[in-house]
Amino acid sequence: MSKKYTLTAALPYANGALHLGHLAGAYLPADIYARFLRRQGKDLAFVCGSDEHGAAITIRAKKEGRSPQEIIDHYHALNKKTFEQLGISFDIYHRTSSELHHKTAQDFFLQLLEKGDQFEQKTTEQYYDEDFKQFLADRYIQGTCPKCGHEEAFGDQCEKCGSTLSPTELINPISTMSGKTPVLKETTHWYFRLDQHEAWLKEWVEKGQLDGQQLHDPTKWRKHVLGQCLSWIEGGLQARAITRDLDWGIKLPIENAEGKVLYVWFDAPLGYISATKAWAEEQGKNWEDYWKGEDTELIHFIGKDNIVFHCVVFPAMLKAAGDYILPKNVPANQFLNLEGKKFSKSRGWVIEQHQYLQDFAEFPNKEDALRYALIRSLPENKDGDFKWEEFVALHDNELADNLGNFFNRVLSFIKKYSAGKLPAADLDLLIQGSEVGSESSYKKVCQTEILPLVERLEKEIMAFEFRQAIQTVLELSRLGNGMFQNNSPWKLAKENPEAAEVQTVLALGVQIAACLNILLEPFLPFVAQKMEELLNWSADLDMASLKEKLAAGQSLLAVGHTLAAPKVIFAKINNKKDKRWSDLIAQQEQLLQDRLKALEAEAKRKAQEEANQKRLPEIEFDDFTKVEMRLAKVISAKKVKKADRLLEIEVDLGGEKRTVVSGLAKCYTPEEILGQQVVMVVNLKPRKLRGIVSQGMILTAENPDGSLSLLQPWKGMQDGALIK
């Protein structure tokens, strides 16, 4: 049986539109890999689909006053369409609301139940909203994250730090339904005995081994993936609830389980299997070959917030079932930011995929312009950043000036000096190389320059190094531009357009262009299609055949082949004669600037509200009169060693000098406060700070953002004057 690949891309919730962070996180990398495997002639199933159960769906439905079914139908169609428009080439985009998926998930549950040792029932206390008479699923609870302090963490996960949580871990939990503090109430649920799988999971993740077999190479897994998995495992795995009290989801297929549905974390990954089943049935294939075949590689493309579920929980489920393969690799990406800030749909700091396509409807190559910018910013090993300024620079400098310019030169030269037809090359004729002063030949360039680039590209893609891989492809167009520049065929053609040197250089340009056409397709499929039309050929050569031809120095196109007339592929954004595209970018930047101002204003308002809420309790007037405050002049100041916030200040209280240690260093330099009058509490009991006795306290006003300002008299007053 031939080797097979099963590629999965994280199932997106069908409760909202997807944004560019989602695209860069899982779907674009998965598409590049799938397209390249197809180019290699591999047998693969590339599956995805909508995750249509769970609290996130019902929350959205309640907000919009629609049914959960209406919500999932709308967003499934929207996201499926935008994926297609952006060239994400899933073999199938399925739905977890389908009858096939419900049966697949229920059968899987029953299969594990029959094992007798994979589940247990527990009666525990869970949060309950008394107003709505409903147990609260994780997404119906928000509170402060115990790990990072983020105040809007959900009951299952903190979207700021990525930590996996349980509802009872949240600080100050609030029901998102009523806005009130929920109560704890007993309920019974089924739990998956994840704790039983801890030992083998650790060995499998850390060493890639299971039952004496080497199943994967941990050195090829990304460090942050291994680190997060091992941290979770070493913290001790616990049994996890697989059911919830909800009226929307996959019903538990056993007696005495009314009102119970499968928890979405258990249900959703099984969507990969049901999607494969649906696809295999359409194709007349056996789905089990892609999930149980010994010579099949399973690869999950996800974001870092899904690592634990795909590297620990789902593998445990698969092994518990007994005959499924485990992931070969899980190249999880980190997060993509937007102009330096995390994407946030709730805060409106977002560019949604469908909105980009609408706004850029008339922009040439809008799909691949976006794909290219995102590929160059992929958060493979650390968080990336999407910026409009970089979008423009990458488009104009790399796509237009490098790639597009080379392709246009090839077609223009062929039209002008060879009547639009591919000339015959002298394979061994010496010509100028791509480096100034070097010599090469058509065959040598194919064998020693193009072929090594192709082989390097292949290794980079198979290692999930897509950012580097696209730059390797662009090296090929730089090579072509260098060959043209150093040989100057336009000069040679003036003397004799049919000279062997001219014909060879032009033919080599076409050879490089054809290679570019093939190699660009996984990254920029729409541009590759345009190149195919301009070269007037079918760029369906597989990688093995491409390498064979390059090794032999053979032309990819036949001598005499007719090429199309030259046509500009990339219209530059920064164009003085046509400002449509630069104006469009300016509009996008202005939208973000306006949104940023609104967010900053909202943050200040919230901070002020919090500051107001932190007011101290009332005191008696007699208590206030016990505090003695006077004006003092700063006569010297210096930083306290090894203390970033502290200044050692000497003040004059009108004849009496004192030393005060004050936390002003973050807002004032010693020079700035020298000679200034300040308000000081003078009857505080002295205390030692950093070895210095502080004899009072200088008063300041503090903004919600933590910035400080000294309090000073409006009129000139004597040092030592009493504050009343």
Dump pLDDT digits (tens) for 55-81: 889 888 988 899 999 999 999 999 999
What CATH number should be reported for the domain whose range is 117-260? 2.170.220.10
Query: Was 667 annotated as part of a binding site?
Result: no
The answer, yes or no, to whether residue 614 has pLDDT greater than 70, is: no
Question: Would you say 232 and 164 are in contact if contact means Cβ atoms under 8 Å apart?
Answer: yes
Query: Was 666 annotated as part of a binding site?
Result: no
Q: What is the C-alpha to C-alpha distance for residues 107 and 133, in angstroms, rounded to an integer?
A: 31
Residue 177: closest CA among 199, 155, 193: 155
pLDDT computed for residue 28 by the predictor: 99
Give pLDDT tens digits for 386-412: 999 999 999 999 999 999 999 999 999
pLDDT computed for residue 612 by the predictor: 67
Retrieve residue 718's tokens.
């004597």
- Answer whether 4-106+264-336 and 621-723 agree in fold: no
Give the mean pLDDT of 105-118. 98
pLDDT computed for residue 613 by the predictor: 64
φ and ψ at 622, to 5 degrees? -60, -35
φ and ψ at 165, to 5 degrees? -130, 165
387-552 carries CATH number 3.90.550.10: no
The answer, yes or no, to whether residue 469 has pLDDT greater than 90, is: yes
Give pLDDT tens digits for 616-633: 788 888 888 899 999 999
Side chain identity at 49, as an amino acid letter?
A: G
Give the mean pLDDT of 353-377. 98
Q: What is the C-alpha to C-alpha distance for residues 308 and 277, in angstroms, rounded to an integer?
A: 25
Query: Was 103 annotated as part of a binding site?
Result: no
| pTM of the shown model | 0.85
Query: Was 724 annotated as part of a binding site?
Result: no
pLDDT computed for residue 519 by the predictor: 99
| % of the chain surpassing 90 pLDDT | 84
Query: Was 459 annotated as part of a binding site?
Result: no
The answer, yes or no, to whether residue 367 has pLDDT greater than 80, is: yes
Under CATH, to which class is 621-723 assigned? Answer: mainly beta
The answer, yes or no, to whether residue 696 has pLDDT greater than 80, is: yes
The answer, yes or no, to whether residue 352 has pLDDT greater than 90, is: yes
What CATH number should be reported for the domain whose range is 4-106+264-336? 3.40.50.620
| % of the chain surpassing 70 pLDDT | 99
Q: What is the C-alpha to C-alpha distance for residues 557 and 560, in angstroms, rounded to an integer?
A: 9
Give pLDDT tens digits for 475-521: 999 999 999 999 999 999 998 989 999 999 999 999 999 999 999 99
Q: What is the C-alpha to C-alpha distance for residues 709 and 678, in angstroms, rounded to an integer?
A: 10
Q: Locate the domains of the chain by residue range.
A: 4-106+264-336, 117-260, 387-552, 579-615, 621-723
Report angle CA 675, 677, 682 to the nearest 5 degrees.
120
Give pLDDT tens digits for 293-308: 999 999 999 999 999 9
Give the mean pLDDT of 641-651. 90
The answer, yes or no, to whether residue 137 has pLDDT greater than 70, is: yes
Place of tokens 């312009």: 369
